Amino acid sequence: MSVRMLKEEVKQTFGIDVSMGQCRRAKKHVIELIEGTLVEHYAKLWSYGEEIRRSNPGSTVKISVNSMPDGKIYFSNMYLFVWKKKENWKWFLENLRDDLGLENGFGVTLMSDQHKGLLEVVNEILPTAEHMQCARHILANFRKIFTGVHYEKMFWRASKASTEPLFNAQMKEIQILNPTAFEYLMEKNPKSWCRAFFQEGRICDAVENGLFESFNNVIREASKKPIITMLEEIRLYVMERQFNLSMKGSAWPEFKPCPRITTLLNKLKKPQRYWQVLPTDLNQFETRNLAESYVVDLDKKTYLCRVWQLNNYGCVHSVATISFLNRDVGSYVDPMYFGAFYRNTYKYPMKGINGSNMWPCTNYSTPLPPLRRKLPGRPKVNRRKDPSEKAARHTVSKVGKRILCGVCKEVGHNKVTCPKVDKPKKLKVKRKKKDNGGSNGGEGGSGTKKMKAVIQVKEEVEQKPMKGVTNVKEVLGNNLKEKTLQGKRKYSERILKKKLGKRVEGKKEEGNTSANPPDIE
- The domain locations on the chain are 1-35, 256-337
The 3-state DSSP class for residue 1 equals: coil
Q: How far apart are CA 515 and CA 512, in angstroms?
A: 8
Average pLDDT over residues 484-512: 64
Residue 517 predicted with pLDDT over 60: no
Dump pLDDT digits (tens) for 31-41.
888 878 888 88
The 3-state DSSP composition of the chain as helix, strand, coil percent (nearest 5) reads 50, 5, 40
Reported as type and span, the H/E element at residue 502 is helix 472-511
Where residue 183 falls among pLDDT bands split at 50, 70, 90? very high
Q: How far is CA 64 from the centre of its chain?
A: 36
H helices, E strands: number in the chain: 18, 8
Q: How far apart are CA 496 and CA 503, in angstroms?
A: 11
Q: Which pLDDT does position 304 carry in this prediction?
A: 80
Q: Which pLDDT does position 469 carry in this prediction?
A: 47
Any residues with CB less than 8 A from the CB of 305 and at least 6 apart, and which?
162, 163, 294, 315, 317
Contact assessment for residue 162 and residue 195, using Cβ atoms and an 8 Å cutoff: yes
Q: How far apart are CA 202 and CA 309, in angstroms?
A: 9
Q: How far apart are CA 157 and CA 170, in angstroms?
A: 7
pTM across the whole model:
0.65
Q: Which pLDDT does position 338 carry in this prediction?
A: 92
The neighbour count for residue 153, using CB atoms within 10 Å, is: 11
Q: How far apart are CA 358 and CA 417, in angstroms?
A: 64
Q: How far apart are CA 157 and CA 166, in angstroms?
A: 9
The separation between the first and the last C-alpha atoms of the chain, rounded to the nearest angstrom, is 88
> Mean pLDDT of all residues in the chain?
78
Any residues with CB less than 8 A from the CB of 138 and at least 6 apart, and which?
155, 185, 188, 193
Beta strand extents in 280-431 (DSSP E only): 284-289, 292-297, 302-303
Dump pLDDT digits (tens) for 412-461.
788 888 888 877 666 565 665 555 544 444 444 445 555 565 566 555 55
Residue type, position 351, single letter: K
Q: How far is CA 45 from CA 38, 52, 227, 394, in A?
A: 11, 11, 9, 41
**Backbone φ and ψ of 478, nearest 5°:** -65, -40
Dump pLDDT digits (tens) for 130-148.
888 888 888 888 988 888 8
Q: Are strands 130-133 and 109-112 parallel, antiparallel or unpaired?
A: parallel
Q: How far apart are CA 269 and CA 338, in angstroms?
A: 20
